Amino acid sequence: MLLMRGEGCSLRAMARKLHRAPSTLSRELARNTGEAGTYDAPQAGIRARGLRFKPRRNPKRAPHRVLFGVVEHYLREGGSPEQIAGTLKRLWPHERERTVSHETLYNAL
């Protein structure tokens, strides 16, 4: 990508050659353009490898969370994901961080 920029290629021309969306290249350039205004490929690789296995957010059903234990308890009692989701909504009607949808429970199973 750096060579194409040096040749004066536009973002859209680079995207066509690399078979990527122009918005993808735009984000990549914005993330990894250094102080001098040049794209830093080695630093981009280091950053990508560092982020590869990092979770994007802390999931509600993480084992260290209270919700995990509550859901596990109801599953052991034979509750279905629909029943558990409904029970959680009744237990904590105004706390969204303590509720979970039945689809999320099915995905976790």
What region, left, alpha or beta, does residue 37 occupy, with left being phi > 0 and alpha being psi -120 to 50 degrees? left
How would you write the pLDDT of the chain (109 residues) with one tens digit per residue?
667 777 888 889 999 999 999 999 999 888 888 778 788 888 889 988 988 887 766 565 565 567 888 888 898 999 999 999 999 999 888 888 788 888 888 877 6
Q: What is the pLDDT of residue 78?
A: 92
Burial of 96 (0-12, 13-18, 19+ CB in 10 A): exposed
The token pair at 93 is 């009607």
- Helix segments in the chain, DSSP class H: 2-6, 11-18, 22-32, 41-51, 66-76, 81-91, 102-108
